[in-house]
């Protein structure tokens, strides 16, 4: 237990310190690179300056004037001048301050035309202290100048050590802002936890008793308020669903009990017993249908339904449903109009998508429509299905609730139904990656607009 108590805060502290460490490393690595590049550039400029100077001397006095000028320059730390041509070779060396570690260059190990920065000019050595520049002169001869850069390399080493030590110090100091940030975050979390714990039901505004101090806190508060609002919405929907279930189950259960009591009262009459059992079966079928519908809705809304998606002709599925309702429509004097755009195909589960059309047509007939018009058209890669009826319509305060489970408006309770049809319709459309919208005018018309993705028939 003790190790866990120590380990978890340490991990949190390290997690908060990592950004500071990365910034520190980036800063000091960049500083070291800048120093490294600056010193190299400085050494290269020195050799270029000397090369220009001796080239000017050579042009004015010839090879004879190079030696006195080179001796007079007295380059500190060692330098050399090399002049080579077809019939000319001149090497001048200054070895002021040379040590055993900084040997003189081996002129046979490198070409007179080469330029190097911080190179070793002995056989087998690549890195060293020499910086060399060479240039071909107008008469064809090659002038090469080299200087000993040991002082610059020592300066670079000293600065690098200083930067490394400073980096270690700043890495340690990185724990200070990490501790401050960790404590601030923990304090915010504790305050939010306390506020959430003390929240009154339905009062999500209490979570922000004090104004947030940072963007992260604001985002966290918004996320928690959204979660709480969703939780309250689900709780309210659950209560409404339970109320609707209790209301809708009460009637068939009461009928079952009444029928059973009636059958028991005349238990000596087989005919009455058969009628009672038949009525019981009928009421049981209604209850089973309701429960199956609720399970289908739950499965569809949870997106766990297994769809058999195949390329399907939209016009055929609607025609099949209209053929089934043709007799019912004639009995109730309902006119069915279908205006399809041919050749529209979609990936669909034929049985479930047919349930959608059947439910919408059945609702229109049930709620006093005398004319139902269905049309289809294709817009890009989307099929648009429009179903219009002139039934009783949906009031403005109910139109947002018609998708809720077991919801039935006051005017629709006299009609048979479970209040699950439209919920299943919307879930099935969503399972097919589509959308459904509705608009309605009381006692005039109701319009359902469904959008589904299209596919080419060969797909």
pLDDT tens track for 447-458: 999 999 998 866
**Mean pLDDT throughout 310-317?**
92
Output the pLDDT for position 395. 82
Any idea which of 36-40, 139-143, 216-220 has the lowest mean pLDDT? 216-220
Residue at 222 is within a domain: yes
Q: What pLDDT was estimated at residue 171? A: 85
* pLDDT, the chain, mean: 80
317 and 379 in a common domain: yes
What's the gap between Cα 91 and its chain centre? 68
Give the pair of three-digit tokens for residue 234: 């689900």
Tell whether 329 and 271 lie within a shared domain: no
Rounded CA-CA distance 50/145 in Å is: 7
CATH code of 282's domain: 1.10.287.130
Phi-psi region of 97 (alpha: psi -120 to 50; beta: other; left: phi over 0): left
* Residues 297, 314 within the same domain: no
Whether 308 has a pLDDT exceeding 60, the answer reads yes
The pLDDT-based confidence of 313 (bands split at 50, 70, 90) is very high
Q: Among 36-50, 152-166, 256-270, whose mean pLDDT is lowest?
A: 256-270
> Is pLDDT larger for residue 297 or for residue 59?
59
* CATH number, domain containing residue 394: 3.30.565.10
Q: Of the ranges 125-129, 314-318, 320-324, 385-389, which one carries the lowest mean pLDDT score?
A: 125-129
Which of residues 35 and 105 earns the better pLDDT score?
35
pLDDT for residue 405: 65
* Helix (H) or strand (E) segment spanning residue 372: strand 371-379
Q: Judge if 268 and 338 occupy the same domain.
A: no
pLDDT band for 184, please (50, 70, 90 cuts). confident
With H, G, I as helix, E, B as strand and everything else as coil, classify residue 68: helix
Mean pLDDT of 398-423: 65
What pLDDT score was predicted for residue 75? 55
Question: Residue 129 pLDDT > 80, yes or no?
Answer: yes
Give domain status of residue 92, yes or no. yes
Give yes or no for residue 208 having a pLDDT over 60: no
pLDDT score at 201? 53
- The predicted-structure confidence for 424-434, as pLDDT tens digits, reads as follows 888 889 888 99
- Residues 426 and 318 placed together within one structural domain of the fold: yes
- 3 state SS for 300-315: HHCCCCCCCCEEEEHH
Residues 97 and 72 sit within 8 Å (Cβ to Cβ)? no
The residue-averaged pLDDT of 206-228 equals 66
- Looking at the structure, tell me whether residues 391 and 336 fall in a common domain: yes
What's the pLDDT score for residue 299? 61
Provide the number of structural domains found in the chain: 3
In a domain, 190, yes or no: no
pLDDT in tens, 345-362: 998 888 889 989 998 999
Take residue 246 and report the two structure tokens written for it: 């209790």
Asked whether residue 195 is assigned to any structural domain, the reply reads no
| Residues 31 and 113 placed together within one structural domain of the fold | yes
- State what percent of residues in the chain have pLDDT above 90: 26
Maximum mean pLDDT: which of 71-75, 189-193, 266-270, 337-341 = 337-341
For residues 276 and 168, state if they share a domain. Answer: no
Neighbours of 24 (CB within 10 A): 20
Residue 321: predicted pLDDT: 92
Do 73 and 46 form a contact (C-beta atoms < 8 A)? no
DSSP letter assigned to residue 104: P
pLDDT bracket for residue 5 (50, 70, 90): very low
162 vs 370: CA distance, rounded Å:
92
Q: Quick one: pLDDT at residue 207?
A: 56
Is 80 a member of any domain?
yes
What pLDDT, on a 0 to 100 scale, did the predictor assign at position 285? 75
Do 358 and 267 share a structural domain? no
Taking alpha carbons only, the member of 427, 459, 450 closest to residue 377 is 450
Q: Specify the long-range contacts of residues 257-262, CB closer than 8 Å, at least 24 apart.
A: 259/283
Closest CA to 70 of 123, 122, 16, 145: 145
Cα gap 67→206, rounded to integer Å: 90
Dump pLDDT digits (tens) for 132-175: 999 999 888 999 999 988 888 889 999 999 999 999 898 888 87
Instruction: Looking at the structure, tell me whether residues 153 and 229 fall in a common domain.
Output: no
Contact yes or no for 38/160 (Cβ under 8 A) = no
**Residue 179 belongs to a domain:** no
> Among 58, 218, 219, which residue's Cα sits nearest to residue 135?
58
| Domain residue limits at 393 | 310-453
Residue by residue, DSSP assigns 129-171 as SEEEEEEE-TTS-EEEEEEE-HHHHHHHHHHHHHHHHHHHHHH
**Domain boundary pick from 117, 149, 172:** 172
Identify whether residues 447 and 320 lie together within a single domain.
yes
**pLDDT value at 52 more than 50:** yes
Q: Is residue 192 part of a domain?
A: no
User: 62 lies in a domain?
Assistant: yes
Is residue 2 predicted with pLDDT exceeding 60? no
pLDDT in tens, 367-378: 888 999 999 999
Residues contacting residue 145 through CB under 8 Å, at least 6 positions apart: 47, 50, 51, 54, 79, 80, 81, 82, 132, 133, 134
Structural contact between residues 429 and 445, judged by C-beta atoms closer than 8 angstroms: no
pLDDT for 136 equals 92
Give the single-character DSSP code of 127: B
pTM score of the predicted model: 0.46
129 and 237 fall within a common domain:
no
Among 282, 304, 326, where does a domain finish?
304
SS3 content of the chain, % helix, strand, coil (to 5): 55, 15, 30
């Amino acid at each position: 237990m003790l190790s866990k108590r120590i380990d978890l805060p340490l991990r949190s502290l390290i997690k908060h310190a990592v950004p500071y460490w990365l910034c520190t490393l980036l800063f000091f690595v960049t500083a070291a690179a800048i120093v490294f590049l600056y010193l190299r550039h400085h050494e290269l400029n020195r050799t270029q300056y000397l090369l220009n100077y001796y080239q000017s001397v050579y042009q004015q006095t010839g090879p004879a004037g190079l030696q006195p000028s080179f001796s007079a320059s007295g380059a500190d730390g060692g330098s050399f001048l090399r002049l080579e041509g077809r019939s000319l070779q001149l090497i001048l060396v200054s070895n002021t301050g040379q040590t055993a570690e900084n040997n003189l260059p081996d002129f046979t190990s490198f070409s007179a035309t080469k330029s190097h920065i911080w190179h070793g000019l002995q056989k087998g050595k690549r890195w060293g202290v020499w910086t060399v520049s060479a240039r071909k002169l107008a008469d064809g001869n090659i002038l090469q100048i080299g200087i000993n850069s040991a002082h610059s390399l020592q300066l670079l080493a000293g600065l690098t050590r200083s930067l490394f030590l400073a980096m270690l110090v700043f890495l340690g100091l990185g724990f200070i802002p990490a501790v401050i940030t960790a404590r601030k975050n923990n304090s915010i979390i504790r305050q939010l936890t306390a506020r959430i714990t003390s929240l009154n039901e339905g009062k999500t505004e209490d979570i922000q008793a004090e104004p947030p101090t940072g963007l992260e806190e604001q985002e966290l508060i918004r996320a928690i308020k959204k979660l709480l609002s969703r939780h309250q919405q689900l709780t309210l929907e659950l209560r409404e669903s339970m109320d609707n279930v209790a209301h809708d189950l009460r009637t068939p259960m009461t009928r079952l009990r009444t029928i059973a009591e009636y059958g028991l009262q005349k238990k000596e009459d087989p005919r009455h017993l058969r009628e009672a059992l038949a009525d019981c079966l009928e009421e049981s079928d209604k209850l089973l249908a309701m429960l199956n519908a609720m399970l289908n809705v739950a499965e569809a809304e949870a997106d766990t339904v297994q769809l058999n998606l195949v390329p399907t002709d939209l016009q055929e599925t609607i025609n099949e449903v209209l053929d089934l309702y043709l007799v019912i429509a004639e009995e109730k004097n309902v006119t069915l109009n279908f205006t399809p755009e041919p050749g529209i195909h979609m990936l669909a589960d034929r049985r479930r998508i047919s349930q959608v059309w059947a439910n919408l047509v059945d609702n229109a007939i049930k709620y006093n429509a005398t004319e139902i018009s269905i049309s289809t058209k294709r817009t890009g890669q989307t099929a648009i299905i429009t179903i219009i009826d002139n039934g009783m319509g949906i009031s403005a305060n109910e139109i947002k609730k018609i998708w809720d489970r077991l919801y039935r408006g006051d005017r629709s309770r006299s009609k048979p139904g479970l209040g699950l049809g439209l919920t299943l319709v919307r879930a099935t459309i969503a399972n097919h990656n589509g959308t459904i919208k509705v608009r309605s005018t009381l006692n005039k018309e109701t319009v359902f607009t469904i959008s589904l993705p299209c596919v080419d028939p060969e797909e």
